[in-house]
Amino acid sequence: MDNVICRGCGKDSSEPVAKSFDGETMHYHHHWIRYDHYGIQTGMYCDKCYNSNDSSLYPYRKDDYYDPAYAGEMLEEEDW
C-alpha cells in the first residue's frame, strides 16, 4: 500500500491509509484526511498545512460558511 503524501507541502506521512468495509460502504482512515464543516472530504493535508492560515497550503474553508440569509425562502412561518 502506498503512503499518503500531503497535498499542501508534499511531505510523506510514512503511514498507509487503512480501509474498512461495513458491507455497504468502503471507509478510509488516516489522521491526515481532512473534511470541511459539512463532512465533505477535502483531501490529505498534514497538520502544519491544515493549521496554517496560508491558502496555498490548505485552500479550503474550515468555518461554518453556510448562511441561511442567502439560502432563499425559509420553511418556518414568519412572525410578522
Does residue 51 sit within a domain?
yes
Does residue 77 sit within a domain?
no
Does residue 34 sit within a domain?
yes
Does residue 66 sit within a domain?
no
| Domain that residue 21 falls in | 3-60
Instruction: Say how many domains are in the chain.
Output: 1
The residue whose grid cell reads 441561511 is 68
Quick one: cell of 26? 468502503
The pTM of this model reads: 0.66
Does residue 68 sit within a domain?
no
Judged against a pLDDT cut of 80, whether residue 78 lies above it is answered with no
Q: Give the pairing of strands 12-16 and 26-29.
A: unpaired
**pLDDT tens column, 22-69:** 877 777 788 888 988 778 889 899 999 999 989 899 998 877 766 667
Does residue 65 sit within a domain?
no
